[in-house]
């Protein structure tokens, strides 16, 4: 069964997220320990979180 345009668009969003995560990983070595901790806290408190999206996609909301 072919994917809908909305499903393809959503998969493209996932690709965009992957690019962003690669950029974050690339810059981490240049940050101080304190900066990495602050970035980590910022990611932990981001809403919606990656985990909440996975739960919603899996139907475990």
- The answer to whether residues 39 and 31 touch, using CB atoms and an 8 Å cutoff, is yes
Predicted TM-score of the model (pTM)? 0.79
Average pLDDT over residues 13-32: 97
3-state DSSP helix/strand/coil % of the chain, to nearest 5: 75, 0, 25
Q: What is the per-residue pLDDT for 18?
A: 96
Q: Is the peptide bond prior to 48 cis by the omega test (within 30 degrees of 0)?
A: yes
As given in the structure block, the two tokens for residue 41 are 């806290």
- The answer to whether residues 28 and 36 touch, using CB atoms and an 8 Å cutoff, is yes
As a whole number of angstroms, the distance between CA 55 and CA 53 comes to 5
Q: What is the per-residue pLDDT for 60?
A: 79
């Amino acid at each position: 069964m072919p994917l809908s345009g909305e499903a393809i668009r959503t998969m493209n969003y996932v690709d965009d997220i992957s690019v962003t995560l690669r950029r974050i990983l690339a810059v981490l070595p240049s940050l101080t320990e304190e900066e990495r901790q602050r970035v980590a806290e910022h990611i932990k408190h981001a809403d919606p979180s990656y985990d909440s999206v996975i739960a919603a996609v899996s139907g475990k909301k």
